[in-house]
Structure 1
């Protein structure tokens, strides 16, 4: 093969190899790859942004939900401002008790509340709220609230618990007459008290307490919320004193 023929052969071979070059090595192939990378990068960036936004929304929703739940629980503990209390409104230790006038453990707890209220007149505030488990619970609670209408709630509270055993066989209807007799014994306005009791004037208040107790998941009485910390069952006075003193030191 002559030199000219060899040169021509090599040139032809080179042209042939160029035609067989892989697509990704060609100019248009390189451009296509670059374009694909840009599109993919855009998709990934967009996906990351969307994912981040979803997380932000979920976090916010979770925070909002938690805030609403906390507000709901706080409201259920504190009530609507109509409950009877002992102690100053701004007391450092706030104790809310859900109690049942027909509950034996609540009967044990009642004098503890009265004793602690005297021991800490400026530092502790007790709030009495109602929850019901017995046949005469509502009738007794209505009587206490009707006495409260005349400023005598706590006196009626004490008497009902003192004589709880004598009312245990009664129901919400049959307990009315003993409650009317008790009101007369306490020198309440009998006509006003009897009308209040017969009309179940404060049943709405008891319903509010019951609804809040259900929200809080109460399963028994007494249930206490000491600065909104839940304690269930009878709590001896010594235990209360230790807790209260500890809270007052802070």
Structure 2
């Protein structure tokens, strides 16, 4: 996504929504909350990347460890995560996704059209370029 944002700048609007696959990853929901806690400190995508790289280690201790590695304020992060401050936001994203018929990740919406599964930069670029050409 960094590549897409770099290529298009303010020509596009990128919105990330949480859709934790609870049945597949027992800590997915807490990991989603943790990434939102990191967002409060301006490190959402860095934290997201750490989660993606370490998908096998999403327990609470690991989640707090990634925050420390990224230089996040540990007290604020722990208060946010332990206090459940992002539970409602993650649940809202999840329910919104269900309402849109999402049942897996990743799922992308480009100008209202749903695309399911991994998409290379070139594939995404082709779709975005096509949509921008319509304007």
Normalised to the residue count of structure 2, the TM-score between the two structures is 0.90
Per the TM alignment, residue 178 of structure 1 is displaced from its structure 2 partner at its CA by 0.8
Secondary structure of the residue aligned to 2:9 is coil
Which residue of 1 is the match for residue 3 of structure 2? Answer: 115
Q: Distance in 2 between matches of 1:163 and 1:145?
A: 17
Q: How does 1:113-192 map to 2 (within 5 A)?
A: 113-133=1-21, 134-164=25-55, 166-167=56-57, 175-192=59-76
The CA RMSD over aligned residues, in Å, is: 1.3
Q: How does 1:86-105 map to 2 (within 5 A)?
A: none
Normalised to the residue count of structure 1, the TM-score between the two structures is 0.50
* Bigger proportion of residues as helix: 1
* Bigger proportion of residues as strand: 1
Deviating 4+ runs (over 2 angstroms): none
Structure 2 residue 131 is matched with structure 1 residue 247? yes
Q: Distance in 1 between matches of 2:26 and 2:91?
A: 16
Name stretches of at least 5 consecutive residues in structure 2 with no aligned partner.
none
Per the TM alignment, residue 210 of structure 1 is displaced from its structure 2 partner at its CA by 1.2
Structure 2 residue 108 is matched with structure 1 residue 224? yes
- Deviations 1:166-219, CA, capped at 9 Å, x for gaps: 32xx5xxxx111111111111111011011111111100011011111111212
